[in-house]
Amino acid sequence: MSGDPSLVNGRSVQELVREIVAEVLVIPADEVTPGAALIRDLGAESIDFLDLVFRLEDALGTRIPYTRWQDFLTASLAGADLSTAITPEVVRAFAEQEMART
């Protein structure tokens, strides 16, 4: 990637994650706040996370095995209740980790 490493196609990673989460969950982007729990607050289901990783993969232009998302959650949110712990901020941190791999 060239240019500002915190941007993806001219958008901040936070903006990108917000748009992707809204698209995946078919909700207005203004409902996607940094601390909203994707499962408890926004209604995400397990299949939505697969779609989310595929869309991140497409947006970042890199292959992201789904197991890497699972490993990230295990390491980052060990022992946490995932229904409340997975937020757009967690997704942003994962996206940034994936961007650093390229």
Per-residue pLDDT tens over the stretch 67-96: 999 999 999 999 999 999 999 999 999 999
DSSP structure class, residue 67: H
Residue 2, in any domain of the structure: no
Residue 29, in any domain of the structure: yes
What pLDDT score does 29 carry? 96
Give the Cα separation of 11 and 14 in Å (integer).
8
Asked if the model's pLDDT at residue 43 lies above 90, the reply is yes
What pLDDT score does 7 carry? 60
- CATH of residue 56's domain is 1.10.1200.10
Give the Cα separation of 11 and 15 in Å (integer).
6
Q: pLDDT of 2-42, one tens digit each? A: 445 566 666 899 999 999 999 999 999 999 999 999 999 99
What pLDDT score does 2 carry? 43
Enter the pTM of the model: 0.90
As for how many domains the chain has, the answer is 1
Rounded to 5°, angle at Cα 57 from 44 and 49: 15
Q: From the CB of residue 13, how many other CB atoms can be counted at a distance below 10 Å? A: 22
